[in-house]
Amino acid sequence: MMNDLARFWFDDAADAPRACTLEDYQGATPRWCPGCGDHAVLAALQRLCRDEQLPPEETVVVSGIGCSSRFPHYMKTYGFHGLHGRALPVAEGVRSRRPDLHLFVVTGDGDCCSIGAGHWIHAIRYNMRMVVMMFDNRIYGLTKMQTSPTTQAGYRSNTHPRGAWLEPIDPIQTTLGVTNVSFVAQTVDWNPVHVAATLTRAYHHPGLAFVRVLQRCPHYTGDVYEAAQRDPKRLLLLEHADGVPIDPAVAKLFPNRTAHDPHDLDAARRLAARDDEVLPVGLFYVNPAAQRYDAYTVEGLATPRNAKLAAVRGELDHYKV
């Protein structure tokens, strides 16, 4: 049911209750490659929308440019397929004017960590409520295998045929280092149960929830996460009562588990600094009390139109000659 702010925008909207099914969120047929990890995340988000009964007309998916950024086309909700690296400022604009909407952002390792890096840092600091899913396949896939900011040093690509020269950016460590960070989690696309649980936990966070999805690109970087996919011992499950809730039967599938308090920022940074031999999955850090910039941008939104027009005219009167 629409809230009071939604009625302000849609005075004639009906509040007829209905039960949404999975089909209510399924848009165009995905055109990703067979075996692409994007399929699993799409299915998880569609199930989340159904389970939470998010009205499609009150749900928005925003993306930039890249394979992952085709996401809005595959959701039967409102969507905005933006410019390269610009998903986050678009989403912030949506949140500042329509705080009643359910907002999801999809970006990739190139889209977010390269051309969009400045927006990424400030979006974390602004902490406006949204779920940001950063798909990390460690390559530019849509433009055919160029080195991305997260490509491992020595990995061969079309732009570095002798191997990438520089060490990669670590999205988790970077995000944890930004002022006012409030939620940082990591999951893997080949464990759909953990993906779904992580996105659900992120959705209920009152701020910006940054979720890095280690995502396979079978066409270009099929070997990058192959060892972790084949050997569960290469994953480390982070467990805590306030972390990502996992059924005990599913948790048993992770030979390596550790108790981690996600309210401990220093501990989260130490976990993120581990090498790639064992990949932590779960909630690194959460701070529901972090400042939210959308608590400021919402001021004045419910001001009647006549009052807004009168205020504008009053200001213009200052310039009469």
Would 235 be classed as within a structural domain? yes
Q: Which of 41-55, 258-272, 298-312 has the lowest mean pLDDT?
A: 298-312
Find the domain containing 286 and state its range: 22-293
- Residue 16's pLDDT band, with cuts at 50, 70 and 90, is low
Angle, vertex CA 243, rays to CA 98 and CA 172, nearest 5: 75
Residue 95 confidence (pLDDT) above 50: yes
CATH number, domain at 63? 3.40.50.970
pLDDT of residue 141: 87
Would 240 be classed as within a structural domain? yes
pLDDT of residue 185: 98
pLDDT of residue 11: 47
User: How many domains are there within the chain?
Assistant: 1
Q: What are 237-246's pLDDT values in tens digits?
A: 999 999 999 9
**What is the pLDDT averaged over residues 273-284?**
90
Would 37 be classed as within a structural domain? yes
Would 308 be classed as within a structural domain? no
- Residue 158's pLDDT band, with cuts at 50, 70 and 90, is confident
Instruction: Write the single-letter amino acid at 182.
Output: S
Would 10 be classed as within a structural domain? no
**What is the pLDDT averaged over residues 87-97?**
97
Residues 6 or more apart in contact with residue 256 via CB below 8 angstroms = 232, 233, 235, 236, 237, 278
- Residue 2's pLDDT band, with cuts at 50, 70 and 90, is very low
**With the C-alpha atoms ordered 144, 134, 281, 201, is the resulting torsion angle positive or negative?**
negative
Would 51 be classed as within a structural domain? yes
Q: What are 123-137's pLDDT values in tens digits?
A: 999 999 999 999 999
Would 299 be classed as within a structural domain? no
pLDDT of residue 321: 67
Looking at 44-129, which runs of residues are DSSP E strands? 59-63, 78-81, 102-108
Would 13 be classed as within a structural domain? no
Instruction: Write the single-letter amino acid at 39.
Output: H
pLDDT of residue 8: 43
**With the C-alpha atoms ordered 218, 224, 227, 229, is the resulting torsion angle positive or negative?**
negative
Residues 6 or more apart in contact with residue 145 via CB below 8 angstroms = 139, 157, 158, 220
pLDDT of residue 319: 84
**What is the pLDDT averaged over residues 14-18?**
65
Backbone angles phi, psi at 138, to 5 degrees: 65, 30
User: How many angstroms separate the CA atoms of 159 and 22, rounded?
Assistant: 41
pLDDT of residue 9: 44
Q: What are 175-209's pLDDT values in tens digits?
A: 999 999 999 999 999 999 999 999 999 999 999 99
- Residue 107's pLDDT band, with cuts at 50, 70 and 90, is very high
DSSP 169: P
Residues 6 or more apart in contact with residue 205 via CB below 8 angstroms = 129, 131, 182, 183, 286, 288
Does this model's pTM top 0.85? My answer is yes
Mean pLDDT, the chain, integer: 91
